[in-house]
Amino acid sequence: MTLTRKDAEATLLTLLVVLTFAATHEGWNVPLVGASHRWAAVAILLLGTFTCGLGDPSRSGGGFATRLCAALGLLALGVAVLAIATGSLMPLSLLVVDVVALWALTTLRHATHDTPRPLTT
């Protein structure tokens, strides 16, 4: 098991994504987001970007899971743009599902694989 401080930070940011979605969906009228699906999409896009920035390229093996994460990341960007442009709840919901799936996949990978050792010459 090789979970790190960055995994904990990513978990916290993903929790904030879910709470942001809940706030706009339920109309809690919290600062910044309010009941606006567009502002929620912007906030979730930023939180997702920060979460992605916590990633460590040296921990990726370059295999199928890495390609799947890349595809999910591109899908998240496209859905985020759609959510901001339309202000609709459906693409916002898909964005949250995508971000949570990315978090779950990467956390599972980190928990089940050892950290790759650096190549020595």
For the segment 40-75, what is each residue's pLDDT rounded down to a tens digit? Answer: 999 999 999 999 999 876 666 668 888 899 999 999
pLDDT of residue 22: 96
Take residue 14 and report the two structure tokens written for it: 């993903």
CA distance linking residue 73 with residue 16, whole number of Å: 18
Domain ranges of the chain: 5-112
Task: Enumerate long-range contacts of 13-19, CB under 8 Å, 24 or more apart.
Answer: 13/47, 13/48, 13/50, 13/51, 13/54, 14/47, 14/51, 14/99, 14/100, 14/103, 16/47, 17/44, 17/47, 17/48, 17/51, 17/96, 17/99, 17/100, 18/96, 18/100
Profile the chain (121 residues) by mean pLDDT over runs of 10 residues. Answer: 87 97 93 92 97 77 83 96 97 98 91 63 54
pLDDT of residue 103: 95
> Cβ distance 92 to 44 under 8 Å?
yes
Partners of residue 55 on adjacent β-strands: none
- In the block, residue with structure tokens 């921990």: 59
pLDDT of residue 48: 96
